[in-house]
Every structure is written in C-alpha cells, then in structure tokens.
Structure 1
C-alpha cells in the first residue's frame, strides 16, 4: 500500500486557519457534528492575513460588524479595528469553540489529487521538511486569494545606489527604526493610507508617492449607534441589528456610486476637500480618473490620513519614479524626493487556491480554464469549494454564506447517498472576467483567475442580499450541480 493510500482520512479538510477557515470549521462542526475534519495551516499560528501583516498601524478597512462572524458578536469599541485586535478575535473564536484543537500547524499544502474511482482527494503537504499525505472526501479552500510568500515588487533603476533602506509591508522587518527619518511610501491603496499616518507619528516626515489618486473616505472608528444599541439590547441582538444596518447602508451607497458615478465622485472629492482645507490641491492628489468602485475605495478611520497631512507630518506627491538616487527618489517631473526609508506598498500577488498543484483523475487543473459557480465552486473541480469574499464589502459576509452552503451540500449528499458533487461548464454561457476591478493586482492576475458567466448560476455577485437568497435559500439540486457515486465523474 502506498503512503498516500494509507494516509489518514477526514470527511472534510479545510485549508487555511484565517477568518474564513475558522468560520468554516464553526459551521461544519455545528451543522455536521458527526463528520471528521481538520484545518491545515502552513504557518505556525492562526489568523491568516491578520497574523502575517505586522506593519505599523495595520488594520482592516472593513468594519468589524460585518468583517466579524455572524455567530460571534464583536464587542470591542472600535468598528475599524487594528490587526492585533482582529487576530485576538479569531483566536478567541477558535479557542472557545474547540476549533484550535483541530488545526495542524506547519502543514503547507502543495498538491491535491482527485480520484473519481475512490471519490477522494489525496492531499500532499510539507511538514517539518518532509512530505505528508492526507485523504479527504471534501476540500474547503480557505487560503485567501494572494501569495503569502511574495508581494508585487516592481524594480527601479538605481536601487543599489540608494543609501537608505527599502522594505515591503508584507514582510515588515522587526525592529525597523524610522524615528526622525524621512519616509516615502510608494502606493496609494489601503496599505499605503494606513502606513502614512501611523509612521508619521514618529518619522521626521512621510510622503505618500502615488502614480495616480485613489478615492479616500473618512469614517468614524467607533459607531455611536452600535454603542447605543449595546446599552439597550442584549449583545447578540445589538450586534445583529448593527450588522444589518451597516450591510444595508453599504449596499445603498455602493448602488448610488455605481448608478450615479459622477455624483458619487463629486461627493467623495468634496469630503476630501473639506478635510484638507481650501488651499490644498485636491484635484491633483485626491481626484481619481476612474469611477468610484472601479477600484476599492480606501477608508481612513477618523480621517487620520487627512489629519497627518494638515499637521504637516505627511504629504502626497503625485508623480512617477524615474530612478533611485543615493539620497532618495528622482521623479519624472525632475523633483528629488529625499528618503531614508522607502516602503513599497505596491500591491499583492494573487495566488488562487493557495497556488497548489491540482489534478483531477491525473490531469492538471487550471483555474483559468474554469468557470465559477455561484462564486464558490469551479467547473470540473469535484467536491471542492473556494471561499472568495466581496470586493465591495467585508470578506466574511461571503465566507459565512459559503461555509453554511457547504454544510447544506454535505447534508444533501448524505441524505441522497451521493459521493461526488461537481459542476461542468454549460454551452451558451459566455465567459466574463471573474472580477470587474481595474486594480493593478487584478489585471496582473487575469491569466490565473477563473471566469464567471453571463447568466446565473455562473455569475459572481457583489451583493450580499442577492447572494443570501441564492446561496442560503436556493435549491442545492438546481439542475446544474451534478451528483454521483464513486467510480466515475458525474
């Protein structure tokens, strides 16, 4: 008997012990209490993104009333929470529900191989320098959408001549001393607008260098209505009402932004102008050339970025890098930007399905050839669900729906005596981009992402209520999802 054939068997294997993986485990043990399962986590700690990123000021740009789990109230005061608080929330959820006992740390999944004859996945992982095998009936991919091992790193002329230090947020060096130093943060996305005000508290000055502006919106770090509800109602009721208010408000604002983009653009720019004062060049630095939500809108709690700029501790330069010099950065405009530390907040590198090598009955599986079913399964990939959150709302909203749907699917298969669930591309469904974003990290990954389709159930909605109706209340046996017994692909 081969090592793979003798490997331990689980009904479900969850890949990733971040927000999605811990949430999936909670749903699974509650909805399918008799099933065996484990979480495989490549790193030595749970938390995913919120354990990986350690740069100054790291926080979520989604509120915790929707980024938090539906089943566990967020009870801290700040709605826009810092990374350590989110990490503690995930860890407490895992510990209080016994989920942490099922996590196998240091297990980096590198391969998954489906056999229709056995109706089983053989999962290959690296652990303590050796290869280990596990088998599972069902695979829940909760490993996020970007590479933990590398970020997008453009190269610039003259880097070797630079006398200062170049760092990346994803790999923040412990003990980096930037006190009283001149810092340049390259980028204008969520990471950059977080770093600038945080570093400006100790640095001599921080400049955010951007090629083009991003929409930046100030939101309160604490929600007064949530605090009032907590005084009047039990914690769970207050949390549920707050969650739904935030969901509805966010959906309405998004709909207005997409249906009336010029109105939304004007309003966002006016808010930035109000924050920065009449003498600031908002047209150059905070007026993007694209429509709101063509890229993600950046949130700054309590206007901290704007405050740092007003106080003179931070500034914005809208220009391009020509090259590095020993003293800093020479821009295309001819301006020399002095720097002791340059932070390249230039984006993520997308890696779907954890970048693992997947085969189906011996044939390599390429996500780019597949079409997404309800934003959860990929055509031609049996007994496997991919957790992928929203781009215009909190990740966990979709993750919760996906985890609950997996429970419904497994229970349906048990009732019907089925071993395999798979979808296949339907004729006449035109392929469309999986994500409609124009952001650089999305465009760079077009050859890696799957497609969505021109009609349901192949469309990827960016709408929680629509997904809730489709995923939570829609029929499992919808005529598109196929079921079968072991021995052959249905």
Structure 2
C-alpha cells in the first residue's frame, strides 16, 4: 500500500450514549503512538482520531527518563522514522529525540489530537455494538471519562512507567545515604564531590556513569554479571562523507539507515552462527580503550552469548574513558548486604557510597496494565496467542506496536503501521466492521511457546515477566520476535485471507 492510499473503514453507527466516539483510538504518545498517528493522518485522513497518554507530555521513555546523559542506544537513522530524515549525529541525547518528535507532531498537525494525563484503565469490547468502550482517568481533573472507538491501537510501550524494578537487598533499611532509581531521577540531586555506586551493567549504567563521573568524587559500577559493549563513533564515518558531498538529506538518511541495518543484521547473524567469533571481536575492540592491565575477560564477559541480550552502545567509548581517567571503576561481584555507609560485596570489600543508583532495569507491563474484557469476559493474555506480533487471538479490532530488542524499536513501528494500514484497507474492501485473529483447524494442537524464547533473548526484565504476557506458536502467523531482515520479507507479504483473521 502506498502512502497516498486513502481507503476508509465503514462509517461507524451512531452511539446512543453521551460519550465521545472516534474511529481510531491510539493509546500512547511515544515513538510508537506518534508513528501510528502519522500513518493514520497520511493514509486515512477521513478517520477521526484521538491519542491518549498518561504522562504530562509526549515522548514516552524520553519524557519519563531524565537522568544525566540519557540517550538512545540505537542509531537515530534507524530509530528515526522512515518518513522523517534524521539530521544529527548517529547517537542522540534524549532532548534531541524529543525535539525530533516535536517536529513530527508539528508537521502532521497532531498536537490537537493528543490528550495528556489521560490514563486508560479499562477497555471493553461489545460484539453487539462492534466497538470498544474505554475508561480513562484524567490526571488533570481527577475525573473518570469514557470514550468509544471502532479500533483500538495500543502504543503504550512495553514496561511499567510508574514502578521501576528494584530487587530486595539485605540491610537496605539501614543505609543512611541516598537511594535513587534512574527512572525517577530527582531534580534536586547534586552529585558534586559525592561517592556514587551504580548497581547495574546495562545501557542505563553505561550512559549514566560517564555523565556523572565528571562531577562526582568517584563512581563505581557494581555489576553481578557483565554486559557486552560496542564503542562506535558518535557520527558514522559514512555520514561525514555523504554530508561533505552535499548529498540531499533524505538520501543520506536512507543510505545510513540501510548501512546501520546491515551492520546490526550482521551482528545478529554472527551471534547465532559464530558466537565465539563475535565474542572475540567485541573483546578485542574494547581492549585498546581500557586502562592498561584491565581484566577484560572478568569485567566484560557476560554469562550469555552476544545478542542474547542487547549489546550496550557507548559512543566514542565514553564509559571506557572514565575508567582510563580513574573517575570510575568496575566491581564484578554480588551484594552481600547494604551497610550504613555503603555496600559490602561477596568478597568482603565495602564500597563507600554517599549515593547509590539502582540501574536495575524495569518490569514489563502487558498493554499498560489495562483491564481488557470481550463481551463481558476478562481477557487473560497469558492464555492468548499473538498474530504476527501485531494482534491477539480472540481480541477484536485491537492492534499493538512492539518494537525490536536488538534493532531500533522504530524499524518495527514502520512495518507494523504498514501492515495495519493494509488491514484497514482490506476491511473496507470486504465491508467488514470487525476483524479478530482466531486459530484455524490446522492449528489445533499447535505447540505454544513462551512470549520470548530464553535461547533467543534472555534479559532479566523479559524472563521475570513471561507469566504476564501472551504466547506464540510454532508457525506463521503465530510467531513474533523475528529479526528485522526477516520481517521486511514476512510482514509486507502477510496473507490477510489465510483464515487466521475472521472478518464480520
């Protein structure tokens, strides 16, 4: 389907209740929701649309995460939208990404459609009315409002924005210093001259430590298990070449988008076909950037193969620079107990800390913890199966956006928007008001697999949330979490009439 298609869904019937009705309701005004809204405005301009977000402003992660140094750990040529060329460095700070999203909202005229402090708490489908009724808590007024919609598009992201993940450690109650989680970074926190321990080894820790090490007395990264790191330049060398040649920005964007995608496709391939070779490459690429005599194998060899969790990006090796300069250090050990003045680790060493930052990640939330019902029956998502990572069996007229773990999230936003647009046009052609994924007779007895296969991706936040999420099958169209290169082939040719989607 081209971007000029303007097919429309059948006109909705009048709603007898005194509630607002829209053709499509998008939940979430982050990267996914803004991408979905752009697609709807461009391809279905006659559809009425509203976008609800629980936060005070748009941006999702980039609004809620305000810790020092916050930035993307994906390149912006693939993290940016296909339709909107990125003009900055490959790796960008959170503020730059918000400014980019500001431009998309302004160019598409989306601002009047977004309603902030609107938290969706429940969504109920009625087959008789062929529509959703959505309950919304308005944080600005304290009242509860109700909306109806023909199609619900869940773009709320994949983790709990309100409650970060923080393990229970012995002795935490007697620690007299300050305890902070990056997801709720306090505005009044001054780390100048402070001894700081950052618990964690992932992208957040790697981003935060170089930013605060410039002012803190010393920063210690305390990790139970290391992560893999890659230290690319802040600006891709190909971008420098193309801009020196005065290549049009949209050409530069597309060329760099393909270059970055090809690089990560190759990393994904090596992670499966030659993990030892990829491990050696990552180790060797870090050694020249680290202090002399640094134990690379001890502090940077994870318990998993490369890409079984995300490879953390440290542009220009800024984390390694903080280690070389003596402003930061790494301790690989377990936490024995918190003390009044810091943390005692398994070796018996005590790490003195005025401030402890728990960069321990987050917990996933199934569809924003919204309570779903279909014809009065609660939807138990762990008993349902995904349709191509876009819809859920037995849940009519509801799509969702879930991006990639390894590649940039937004690459999948674009592909999902294309597929949902094609589905809308197909419904119009069939004169259908509803569509729902259902297992076919040939799928009877199909092996059901967990939402995420630990052999494929085993990050802690994924494994501890498996019981909350839907499942996948052992065949198309009931699989998801494919690599980007695979989905570029699979999703555009997805058969919408193979019997897995029931239209009425």
With the length of structure 2 as denominator, give the TM-score of the two structures. Answer: 0.93
Q: 1:444 to 1:461 in 2, by over 3 A?
A: closer
Residues 239-298 of structure 1, C-alpha deviation per residue, up to 9 Å, x if partnerless?
Answer: 111111211121012101221111111111122222214511112111112111111111
1:205-244 equivalence runs, <5 A: 205-230=218-243, 231-244=245-258
Residue 145 of structure 2 corresponds to: 132
User: Match of 1:307?
Assistant: 321
- Residues 369-397 of structure 1 show CA distances to partners (whole Å, capped at 9, x for unaligned) of 11111111111111111100001100001
Structure 1 residue aligned with 2:108: 97
Tell me, in whole angstroms, the C-alpha distance in 1 between the residues paired with 2:370 and 2:184.
Answer: 22
Query: Tell me, which stretches of 5 or more residues in structure 1 are unaligned?
Result: 485-490
CA drift at 1:161: 2.0
Deviation of 1:4 after TM superposition, in Å, equals: 9.2
Partner Cα distance (1:165, 1:476) in 2? 54
User: Contact conserved, 1:144 with 1:388, CA < 8 A, in 2?
Assistant: yes
Are the aligned partners of 1:80 and 1:301 in contact in 2 as well (CA < 8 Å)? Answer: yes
User: Which one is further off, 464-473 or 63-72?
Assistant: 464-473
Q: Could you tell me which residue of structure 2 aligns to residue 80 of structure 1?
A: 91
Alignment of 1:197-276 (within 5 A): 197-230=210-243, 231-276=245-290
What are the ranges of 5 or more consecutive residues in structure 2 without an aligned counterpart? 1-14
- Secondary structure (helix, strand or coil) at the match of 1:302 reads helix
Moved over 6 A (4+): none
| Mapped pair 1:464 → 2:484 | yes
Query: Corresponding residue for 1:318?
Result: 332
Preserved contact between residue 4 and residue 134 of structure 1 (Cα < 8 Å): no
Aligned to 1:438: 458
Alignment TM-score, normalising by the size of structure 1: 0.96
**Partner Cα distance (1:430, 1:155) in 2:** 36
The 5 A counterparts of 1:82-481 are 82-127=93-138, 128-230=141-243, 231-425=245-439, 426-436=443-453, 437-481=457-501
Report how far residue 6 of structure 1 moved: 2.5
Structure 2 distance, partners of 1:45, 1:88, is 12
- 1:278 and 1:462 map into 2 onto residues whose CA distance is 40
Given candidates 51, 54, 73, the residue that maps to 1:61 is 73
Shift of 1:403: 1.4
Single out whichever of 140-149 and 424-433 deviates more from structure 2. Answer: 424-433
The DSSP-based 3-state class of the residue aligned with 1:85 is: helix
The equivalent of 1:488 in structure 2 is: none
Rounded Cα–Cα distance in structure 2 between residues aligned with 1:118 and 1:386: 22
The residue number in structure 2 matching 1:50 is 62
SS of 1:452's partner is: coil
CA contact (8 A) 1:391 1:462 kept: no
CA distance in 1, matches of 2:109, 2:492: 26
Aligned length: 481
Q: What value does the CA root-mean-square deviation take over the aligned residues? A: 1.3
